[in-house]
Amino acid sequence: MSEPVVEIADASFGYGGAPVLSGVSFEVRAGEAVALIGPNGAGKSTLLAGLLGLAQHEARVFRVPAARGEIGTLPQSSEIDPAFPVTLEQVVAMGRTPRLGLKWPGRADRRIVAEAIEAVGLTEHRGTRFGDLSGGQRQRALLARALAGEPRLLLLDEPFNGLDHGSRDALLETVRRLKAQGVALLITTHDLDLARAVCDRTLLVNGRQIAFDETGCVLTLERVEAAFASHVMEIDGHTLATTEHHAAAHGAHHHHVLQDDGAAGAEHR
């Protein structure tokens, strides 16, 4: 089995005060994708920030790639002002900056940037101003920026949000290709089907770690319910109204509801 790129044991993450997320133990191996799943406020972003050294952590074991450029990130949405005068190619080239430091980019760097742009299917737009791209294209450009750093570990924060079907399939394909190249990926998502499609293992959290195991074993009704208490979500194409939500909505107690979308819609009306 390939070596772990990330190895975390008995870790808690936070920003000074009480930890946002605690009791976390997991690993991500080279060529493996791990899904990070939990409701809003569960501590997913804090965990990602902790891995980057931007949030505090306490841990028995804490091993993450430390050299510059070894961790690539894709934010939920672009933070670049659309009016900023940069082309797509220049944004992607930013991904080389951590590795280059103050050195000038050479031929090899330009080739890596071109390949990263090609990998996300935006070669024809490389001279386009970043702000003139569509939202989906900007996300793909930022993914290319992360790839241009040739990361050992890639942190993708809700990468499937707001993508149309075609872009989603393209992204899934990119994830598979990166895995084949030996890149370790940690992907936060709300979409359990996508987690099943590409993620070998899943880390389920909600303020603490609920489970970490093979995706099929983790995404069971009980565990998802434990993580998503008082939330409604989809599982296996059905809408799941978990105990607390259902109790709040209908006054019933300790009662799992698993039904198809249409019926759920009718019930909530």
Partner 1 sequence: MTLDFFSRALLEVTLAGALAGLVGVLVVLRERAFFTMSLTHATFPGAVAAAMLGVSIPLGAAVAAVALVAIAVGIGRIRSQGPAVASGIMLTAGFALGALLQSLSPLAIDVESFLIGQVLAVTGADIALTAVLLAVAIVVWAIAGPHLVFSSADEGGYRRAGMRPWIPEAVALALIAATVVAIMPVVGAILGVALIVAPAAAARLVVRDWRAMLVVAPLIAIASGVLGLVASRWLELAAGGAIALVAAAFYGLAWLWAEAARRPRGTIETRTPWRTTP
Report the 10 Å Cβ neighbour count for 248. 11
Cα–Cα distance, 98 to 243 (Å, whole number): 47
**Looking only at residues 125 through 144 of this chain, which bind partner 1 when binding is defined by CB under 8 A?**
129, 142
Report the 10 Å Cβ neighbour count for 256. 12
| Residue of 176, 181, 192 whose CA lies nearest to 236 | 192
Residues 6 or more apart from 43 whose CB is under 8 A from it? 13, 20, 21, 205, 206, 207
- Binding test (CB under 8 A) with partner 1, winner from 38, 43, 50, 95: 95
- The distance of closest approach from Cβ of residue 58 to partner 1 in the complex, given in angstroms and rounded to an integer, is 21
CB burial string 170-195: b at 16+ within 10 A, e below: bbbebbeebbeeebbbbbbbbbbebb
- The distance of closest approach from Cβ of residue 38 to partner 1 in the complex, given in angstroms and rounded to an integer, is 20
**Looking only at residues 238 through 257 of this chain, which bind partner 1 when binding is defined by CB under 8 A?**
none
Answer yes or no whether residue 17 interacts with partner 1 by CB under 8 A. no
- The distance of closest approach from Cβ of residue 68 to partner 1 in the complex, given in angstroms and rounded to an integer, is 5
Both tokens of 163, joined, read 């993508």
Beta carbon nearer to partner 1, 73 or 188: 73
Answer yes or no whether residue 43 interacts with partner 1 by CB under 8 A. no
Answer yes or no whether residue 97 interacts with partner 1 by CB under 8 A. yes
Round to the nearest angstrom and report the end-to-end CA distance of the chain: 50
Beta carbon nearer to partner 1, 100 or 114: 100
Beta carbon nearer to partner 1, 146 or 195: 146
Answer yes or no whether residue 110 interacts with partner 1 by CB under 8 A. no
- Binding test (CB under 8 A) with partner 1, winner from 16, 17, 60, 85: 85
- The DSSP H or E segment spanning 108 is helix 107-119
Residues in the chain: 269
Q: Where along the sequence are the contacts to partner 1 (CB under 8 A)?
A: 52-54, 68-69, 71, 73, 75, 78-81, 84-87, 90-91, 93-95, 97-98, 100, 102, 105, 129, 142, 145, 149
